[in-house]
Amino acid sequence: MTALTYAWSSLGGDPARLSRLTSVPREGVLTARLPVRELARACVGACALAAAELAARRAGLAEVPAVRVDDGAVAAAFHSERLLRVDGRAPVSFAPLSRFWRTADGWVRTHANYPHHRTRLLGALGMPEDASAERVAARLAGMPAVEVEETVDGAGGLAVALRTPERWRAHEQAAAEVAARPLVERGRLDTAPARKFPPPDPAAPAVLPAAGLRVLDLTRVLAGPVATRTLALLGADVLRVDAPWLPELPDQHADTGFGKRSATLDLGTGRDVLEDLLSTADVVVTGYRPGALDRFGLSPEELSARHPGLVVAQVSAWGAHGPWRGRRGFDSLVQAATGIAVTEGTAGEPGALPAQALDHGTGYLLAAAVLRALTEQSYDGGSRLVRLALARTAHWLTSGIRPEPADGEPYPGPDAWLAETGCTLGRLRYARPAVSFTGGPADWARPPVPWGSSPARWAAPALQG
Phi, psi of 457 (to 5 degrees): -155, 160
What is residue 381's DSSP assignment?
Answer: -
For residue 68, give the H/E element and its range. Answer: strand 67-70
Distance CA(161)–CA(149), nearest Å, equals: 6
With DSSP H G I counted as helix, E B as strand and the rest as coil, what are the percentages for the chain, rounded to 5? 40, 15, 45
**Eight-class DSSP state of 67:** E
Give the whole-angstrom CA distance, residue 151 versus residue 154.
5
Judge whether 115 and 247 are in contact, CB under 8 Å.
no
Strand runs labelled E in 195-273: 214-218, 237-242, 261-264
Provide the 10 A C-beta neighbour count for residue 418: 16
* Residue 93 near residue 81, CB atoms below 8 Å: yes
- Calpha distance 435→339 (Å, rounded): 30
Determine how β-strand 418-423 pairs with β-strand 21-24.
Answer: unpaired
Catalytic annotation present for 359: yes
- Which one is catalytic: 153, 359, 415, 443? 359
Q: How far, in Å, CA of 263 to CA of 243, rounded?
A: 9
Task: Count CA atoms within 13 Å of residue 400 on its CB side.
Answer: 18
Q: What's the number of CA atoms in the CB half-sphere (13 Å) around residue 366? A: 34
CA atoms within 13 A on the CB side of 73: 19
Helix axes 390-399, 36-59, angle to 10 degrees: 120
Task: Quickly count helices (H) and strands (E) in the chain.
Answer: 17, 15
Is residue 40 within 8 A of residue 32, CB to CB? The reply is no
Rounded Cα distance between 329 and 90, Å, is: 25
Other CB atoms closer than 10 Å to residue 16's CB: what's the count?
8
The catalytic residue positions are: 359
